[in-house]
């Protein structure tokens, strides 16, 4: 059933943004996508994601605007022009390791850009603001699994710090101006159309080409790999159910605050050893990897593990895709997209 309202998605040419938009057709009166189409990675991949969106848009309810969130006047004019009821912010300068060398890019995109967007939402009375946070906010926490109410004030990278800043800014806007805000701490999202700077794409390309892959912390790494379709399920549920304030709550929790604000972990809740991930990837590709074992990189963490009990309770979030099936779908897409024959 189509909702009689408008939804705006930033990062529309990105991995998660494009996947979300493809799932929104038929659900909303109008879908507006924003992206600045920067060259952080292969621009052709971004253009092809947008072309895929166009092919799925048979009813003409899709509009794209090239827009940089750091340009306050432009984002204000776009929000005023379309007057969306729901805004999903998936635009960000991504990558933990890139933030070590180019910190100013994260301040500009992830903090200034985020502030400009949420302020435009306030000015134009947006009814539901959803944004991507990250599992990286948990920093070096050793308690597993990570729970939303764990301490998150010791980030290990500027990327992580920028995402925690988003959560703090969102709460202040929610408290002062009453904007319903939901932050999603995403755990290692992978799948078709993924980012080239992430392990699945890097490893797959190297294995196919016979090049060595770097495995950090001497292979003693675990990640809560989360398939893209499961992440999109969680975002869509948040679109349907904006948070409400709990006036009886004196303890600010992720699902219960005196402001219409919440934060959820969105993960598979099934951490996988990196060497097991590589083994499964080798099986799907049909070739063995050449591995260079290296020490831990600065800004990285050894393990991630999402406690998703609050997302299950509040938005009925339940991941369905196993790592085995997810890698099968991913490798199949990769071979088709890059025209690989093995």
For the domain that residue 160 is a member of, what is the CATH number?
3.40.50.720
Where are the strands (E) in 221-314, listed by range? Answer: 222-223, 226-227, 261-266, 272-273, 290-293
Q: Average pLDDT for residues 67-92, to the nearest whole number?
A: 96
- Active-site residue 159, yes or no? yes
144-184 residue pLDDT tens: 999 999 999 898 889 999 999 999 999 999 999 999 999 99
227: closest CA among 326, 304, 312? 326
Composition of the chain by helix, strand, coil, percent to 5: 45, 20, 40
110-122 residue pLDDT tens: 999 999 999 999 9
Q: Average pLDDT for residues 64-85, to the nearest whole number?
A: 97
Q: Is residue 281 part of a domain?
A: no
Going by the DSSP 8-state scheme, the letter that residue 108 receives in this structure is I
pLDDT band per the 50, 70, 90 thresholds, residue 256: low
Task: Output the pLDDT for position 249.
Answer: 54
**Phi/psi class of residue 125: alpha, beta or left (left: φ > 0; alpha: ψ in -120 to 50)?**
left
Q: Is residue 87 part of a domain?
A: yes
Domain that holds residue 264: 3-191+225-269+305-319
Task: Output the pLDDT for position 3.
Answer: 59
Say which residue, 280 or 140, is predicted with more confidence. 280
**Euclidean distance between CA atoms 208 and 340, whole angstroms:** 9
pLDDT band per the 50, 70, 90 thresholds, residue 1: very low
Of 105-109, 185-189, 298-302, which has the strongest mean pLDDT? Answer: 185-189
Q: Average pLDDT for residues 174-202, to the nearest whole number?
A: 96
212 forms beta bridges with 290
pLDDT band per the 50, 70, 90 thresholds, residue 248: low
pTM above 0.85, yes or no: yes
Q: Is residue 217 part of a domain?
A: no
278-313 residue pLDDT tens: 999 999 999 999 999 988 888 778 899 999 999 999
Q: Is residue 99 part of a domain?
A: yes
Q: Is residue 298 part of a domain?
A: no
Q: For the chain, how many structural domains are there in total?
A: 1
Q: Is residue 213 part of a domain?
A: no
Low-confidence winner among 12-21, 75-84, 287-296, 297-306 (lowest mean pLDDT): 297-306
Q: Is residue 248 part of a domain?
A: yes
Q: Is the pLDDT of residue 250 over 80?
A: no
pLDDT band per the 50, 70, 90 thresholds, residue 59: confident
Q: Is residue 300 part of a domain?
A: no
190 forms beta bridges with 227
Given 28, 82, 98, 159, the catalytic residue: 159
**Euclidean distance between CA atoms 182 and 203, whole angstroms:** 33
**Contact 262/178 with Cβ under 8 angstroms?**
no
With a pLDDT cut of 70, the percent of the chain lying above it is 95
- At CA 95, angle to CA 209 and CA 229, rounded to 5? 80
């Amino acid at each position: 059933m189509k909702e009689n309202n408008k939804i705006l998605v930033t990062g529309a040419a990105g991995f998660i943004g494009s996947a979300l938009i493809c799932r929104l057709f038929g659900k909303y009166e109008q879908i507006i996508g924003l992206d600045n189409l920067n060259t952080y990675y292969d621009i052709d991949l971004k253009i092809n994601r947008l072309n895929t969106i166009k092919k799925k848009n048979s009813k003409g309810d899709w509009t794209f605007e090239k827009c940089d969130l750091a340009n306050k006047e432009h984002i204000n004019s776009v929000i005023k022009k379309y007057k969306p009821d729901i805004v999903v912010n998936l635009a960000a300068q991504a990558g933990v390791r890139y933030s070590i060398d180019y910190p100013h890019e994260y301040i500009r995109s992830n903090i200034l850009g985020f502030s400009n967007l949420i302020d435009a939402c306030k000015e134009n009375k947006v009814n539901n603001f959803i944004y991507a946070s990250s599992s990286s906010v948990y920093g070096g926490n050793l308690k597993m699994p990570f729970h939303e109410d764990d301490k998150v004030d010791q980030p290990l990278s500027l990327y992580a710090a920028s995402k925690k800043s988003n959560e703090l800014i969102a709460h202040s806007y929610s408290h002062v101006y009453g904007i319903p805000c939901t932050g999603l701490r995403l755990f290692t999202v992978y799948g078709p159309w993924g980012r080239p700077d992430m392990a699945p794409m890097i490893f797959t390309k190297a294995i196919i080409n016979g090049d060595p892959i770097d495995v950090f912390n001497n292979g003693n790494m675990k990640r809560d790999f989360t398939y893209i379709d499961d992440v999109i399920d969680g975002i869509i549920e948040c679109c349907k159910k904006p948070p409400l304030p709990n006036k009886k709550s004196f303890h600010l929790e992720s699902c219960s605050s005196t402001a219409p604000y919440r934060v959820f972990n969105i993960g598979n809740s099934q951490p996988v050893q990196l060497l097991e991930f590589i083994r499964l990837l080798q099986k799907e590709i049909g070739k063995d990897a050449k591995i260079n074992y290296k020490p831990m990189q600065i800004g990285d963490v050894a393990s991630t593990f999402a406690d998703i009990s609050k997302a299950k309770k509040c938005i009925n979030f339940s991941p369905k895709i196993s790592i085995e099936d997810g890698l099968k779908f991913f490798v199949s897409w990769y071979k088709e997209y890059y025209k690989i024959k093995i």
